[in-house]
Structure 1
Amino acid sequence: MQLAAASGLMSLVLFGIAVGLLALLAGGFWMNSRVKYREPPRPRPEEQPRLPPEGAVHEVRENRESQEIPRTPEGGRALTPYELSNMDTRPSDSKERPRWSKGSSGSFGGGGLGAH
């Protein structure tokens, strides 16, 4: 019964916790202001990047094709992903975009009618 009774010590502990949390919050603001003070100033309008003299850079479209996966010899073991190198791509000689079947986007749920 005595533990359940209101005591001044319990309210003093809660007050101490509240003061500690406020001190922690104030310390966070203080640390933030120190970090911001050490940062370089924001660039002025005349220091902002400008377009190059020849104008904006335009998009380049090209088809890329990947390297061929090495063939395993007859009766040999299959290669693991760790034995394959980084499969780079190279520009394709063909200028046609690869297409799937007509009316299909090539992906599941792409919105097309699919192959019929």
Structure 2
Amino acid sequence: MLSLLADENLDANILRGVLRRFDGIDVVRVQDIGLTGADDPTVLAWAADWSRVLITHDVETVTRYACERVDAGLPMPGVIEIVASAPIGKVVEDLALILECLGDDDLDDQVLYIPL
């Protein structure tokens, strides 16, 4: 199962839904690792260093920085971009599908958008 990094802007209800659905899922929050307020390149670098897929609502800038990492030949274990207006239940279901179907490296260098 994918290891995840939850961006500080991720709706806590989505995170709770995923945690309820998957007992023991490997997810850490940006707030828990001392990166609160860090810029996107720093968060993406940390995610790459720890092989974690970033989950975020930041569809404005994260995609650009993720693509810059790929273009520079830097590791980018993946980003899941969640449209902020998407219904929480739909987001949790889509995340469940992704987590059940994808392996550790399946999102390398990819940006995936939810809702699917």
* TM-score for the superposition, normalised by structure 1: 0.14
Q: Which has the higher helix share?
A: 2
Q: Which has the higher strand share?
A: 2
Instruction: Indicate the structure (1 or 2) with the bigger Cα radius of gyration.
Output: 1
* TM-score for the superposition, normalised by structure 2: 0.14
